[in-house]
Structure 1
Amino acid sequence: MPDPSDYLLRVTAGPSYDPATHVPVPVNSPSTIPIAHPEMAIDLAVRIQNYRGLPPSAPATSPYFDAEPHKSNGDLYSIAFRFTPKPPAGAQGGAGEGISGDDLQFGNDFDQPIRAHLPPGFNTALNIVRWWIDPGLDGDAYADKPYLYGPALSSFNAVRAGEGEVDAEKGGLYGAPEGGRERMRWALKEGSKRGWVWEYGRGYGVDFYNPYVDFDKFALRLPGFGLGILRYWDGQGLRYVLRNKSTGTVYLVVLFTLYRKEDVNEDGSLKPGAVQASGSESKSERSGSHDDEHEHFDEEKAIEEAKRKLSTVDVTEGGVETNADDVD
């Protein structure tokens, strides 16, 4: 079984899928980095608890995780940014015009199929996410190009009109306005999404965070469901995407990529062929036996455990207060 300590994480971001357009993200820095896009100005910050990765000088944590609600939530990472939509080329961009709340999406996608690598219990884990954490999530993990997107309006834990607060003592870009859970519940309604407009020329601050992805151990930790992902990893990076559903325009891509320590120079630069070696080595290690507790996955037990844990935790700070009966 692959050992998480043999790997380093690298985070890059850019205005497209093309890695050539990406820049390294200084994880846990109190400063933001600009991402230039013709239709959106973005300033990005990424925080990861217990960070082991590149650049080597990156702090292992951020004051962000000691501030509320993150300390109580046990949040493990954050993708936060300020953005200002711009009219597409040739558009006038009059008052009140912008991107529909039904169109602006945030989520994950992949270039290659992952269906052959999905672990036992994946569908149950996805149902747990949809039922109790992000009911707005939709997609197809079994497609040739898998995707899971949700409306940005309900997917982000914090949304505020305005550029957001920057406080170095709280880890940099910060903002958790009151009423976040009510806004997320309200935003799940079709009429709410269609009536909302992310206006051209207006600034917004958003933050996406949760305690469910452990980048230190490279594990998924949902209530009632835990999984080490390395043995199922096919070499693709984990990609978070901000996009327009109607036009297909991609505004922001944040890419989390794993590299073997032996493929990284002491200064943090990648050795030639590091990307290819990192994927192929993982596949070789993964080809052995998968005989562990996840091969004997008990779906009913996992769901009951998730219900028990979430019934005693205010999940509305990390998602939407809901349950399976609230979702069609």
Structure 2
Amino acid sequence: MADMYIIRVTAGSSYDLDEHVEVPVNTAAPVRIANSHMDVELNVRVRDYKGLPLGSPASSPYFDQEPHAYNKDQYSIAFRFTPKKPAAEAVDGGESGEEDDDDDEELEGIAATDLQFGNDFDHPIRDRLPPGFGTAMNIVRWWIDPGLEGDAYADVPYLYGPALSSFNAVHAGPGEHDEAKGGLWFAEGGDETGLAKRRGWGAPDDAKARMKWALKEDSKKRWVWEYGQTYGVDFYNPYVDFSEFALRLPGFNLPIIKYWDGQGLRHNPKRSHQLRYVLRNRTTRHVYLVVLFTLYLREDVNEDGSLKPAALAATARASGGQGKMGGPIEGEKVTTSKDGSEKSFDDEKALDEARRKLSGAGSEDKAETNDADVD
């Protein structure tokens, strides 16, 4: 069934697809994206890639490097970004959302409590979620990303985590661009100035330790993504297989195509045939970066790799109308409705298998953190 579909990756500084550019997956040259809030350079890598544009490299030297070879990582969203100081007239309590204090001082950057990275949708997806999805999310939250929060069953579904604890690698500095490593490459740490800042805030040099440290509210209040400074981040894992359209968690394997299906994408564009990664501000709801993986029927792709007009129109409709801002506002009421379809799923068996595979063993990049570790 997977042969019936093809993936296209686009990116932009908003949800508006008219502002997106096609991302040349697995190429070393980064895509440059900018808006009034942030400058971004982006590389997307996918192992065994068979998507658009046609003729894209099937893989990247990135996956031959450690820790990715050992982890068998399936994809990477890596980018360097430079936050911009907002114009004085545009500041309403500061870009980070803090309130002015008695001295009228403003935070010179985006607070780590506000910068989020994750997935969201413009429309409900609860009717497309598979049995056992809740258990899968428990696995993700407990062993992989304890900072993840959201509601996949809501009318406006979202799953966001603090960027500081969600990214596998955080480099306080521009990092490097090395074609032999697949393009943008960010080792945990930073340049001389960045390391001094990190250590001054109490952030550990080690990636796993930093992810665990960043789960604490006190830690996030210390760290500031400073205006005018460049940071490199990398998000990767072995769990989403875009070549076979499958989710492979320990204890939970799912052929995504069964639920992320393209049945009449042109006729039913509100189906979950898009996976969207968003970098956003929790308080202001400003969107800085949107990376969109869209699934198309192969019959909707011309021989030259361009998309037929009807497919483009359907994708634009499915992307919704969030514009430059989107996702739930903190404290906003959302409607949740679970249909009880998970009763047929053996969640205890899945959790036991996940515990065996993830507790005390596995890749060197897992946070190995759970709620009990957070003060």
Q: State the TM-score, normalized to the length of structure 1.
A: 0.90
Q: Give 1:11's aligned residue.
A: 9
AA at the equivalent of 1:321: E
Deviation sequence 1:265-312 (CA, Å, 0-9, x none): 111100121257789xxxxxxxxxxxxxx9942110000000011135
2:229 partner amino acid: R
2:174 paired with 1:163: yes
Aligned to 2:34: 36
Q: Name 1:154's counterpart in structure 2.
A: 165
Query: 1:76 pairs with 74, 89, 92, which one?
Result: 74
Change (3 A) 1:95 1:114: closer
1:242 maps to: 279
* Deviation of 1:326 (Å): 3.7
Asked if the contact 1:15/1:252 (under 8 Å) is kept, the reply is yes
- Residue identity over aligned pairs, in percent, reads 64
Match of 2:212, as an amino acid? Answer: R
1:224-235 to 2 correspondences below 5 Å: 224-233=251-260, 234-235=271-272
Secondary structure, aligned partner of 1:159: strand
Q: What SS class does the counterpart of residue 53 from structure 1 fall into?
A: coil
Q: Measure how far apart 1:322 and its partner are.
A: 2.0
| 1:197 alignment partner AA | V
SS at match of 1:79: strand
In structure 2, what is the Cα distance between the partners aligned to 1:276 and 1:33? 24
Q: Quick one: distance in 2 between partners of 1:96 and 1:263?
A: 48
Tell me how far apart the structure 1 counterparts of residues 243 and 343 of structure 2 sit (CA, whole Å). 23
Which AA in structure 2 matches 1:320?
A
> Corresponding residue for 1:313?
361
Amino acid of the residue matched to residue 308 of structure 1?
Answer: R
C-alpha separation between the residues in 2 aligned to 1:73 and 1:176?
16
**Alignment-derived partner of residue 345 in structure 2:** 297
Q: Is 1:214 paired with 2:241? A: yes
State the alpha-carbon separation in 1 of the partners of residues 295 and 275 from structure 2: 9
- Cα distance, 1:277–1:83 mapped onto 2, change above 3 Å: closer
**Are the equivalent residues in 1 in contact too, given 2:248–2:254 (CA < 8 A)?**
yes
- Contact kept, 8 Å, 1:159 with 1:180, in 2: the verdict is yes
Query: 1:229 offset after TM fit, Å?
Result: 1.3
Instruction: Give yes or no for contact 2:75–2:236 (8 Å, CA) kept in 1.
Output: yes
- AA in 2 matched with 1:232: Y
* Counterpart check, 1:174 vs 2:185: yes
Counterpart secondary structure, 1:54: coil
| Structure 1 stretch displaced more, 245-254 or 269-278 | 269-278
Q: In the TM superposition, what whole-angstrom CA distance separates every residue of 1:69-108 from its partner, at most 9, and x where no partner exists?
A: 0000110000000000001222599996100000000000
**Shift in alpha-carbon separation, 1:27–1:274, aligned structure 2, 3 A:** same
What is the TM-score normalised by the length of structure 2? Answer: 0.79
Give the Cα separation in 1 of the matches to 2:57 and 2:126.
35
The alignment's C-alpha RMSD in Å is: 2.1
Tell me, yes or no, if structure 1 residue 117 matches structure 2 residue 135: no
More off after superposition, 21-30 vs 303-312: 303-312
Q: Map Cα deviations across residues 157-178 of structure 1 (whole Å, 9 max, x no partner).
A: 0001111111100111012226
Distance 2:161 2:364 in 1: 16
Counterparts of 2:363 and 2:146 in 1: how far apart (Å)? Answer: 12
Residue equivalent to 1:284 = none
Contact 2:216–2:374 (Cα < 8 Å) also in 1: no
Q: 3-state DSSP class of the match of 1:201?
A: coil
1:56-95 to 2 correspondences below 5 Å: 56-90=54-88
Stretches (4+) displaced over 4 A: 91-96, 275-279
Task: Give how far 1:313 is off.
Answer: 2.9
Task: Compute the displacement of 1:25 (Å).
Answer: 0.2
2:50–2:58 Cα contact (<8 Å) kept = yes
Q: What CA distance in whole angstroms lies between the structure 1 residues aligned with 2:69 and 2:141?
A: 24
Q: CA deviation at 1:324?
A: 6.1
Aligned mate of 1:223, from 250, 270, 282:
250
- CA 1:263 to 1:278, structure 2 compared with 1: closer, same or farther past 3 Å? farther
Matching residue of 1:322 = 369
Q: CA deviation at 1:316?
A: 4.7
Would you say the 8 A contact 1:133–1:315 is kept in 2? Answer: no
Partner amino acid, structure 1, of 2:252: F
Q: Answer yes or no: is the 8 Å Cα contact 2:215–2:374 preserved in 1.
A: no
In the alignment, the residues of structure 1 paired with residue 76 and residue 152 of structure 2 have an alpha-carbon distance, to the nearest angstrom, of 23
**Distance between the aligned counterparts of 2:245 and 2:288, measured in 1?**
27
SS at match of 1:266: coil
Candidates 196, 200, 216, aligned match of 2:227: 200
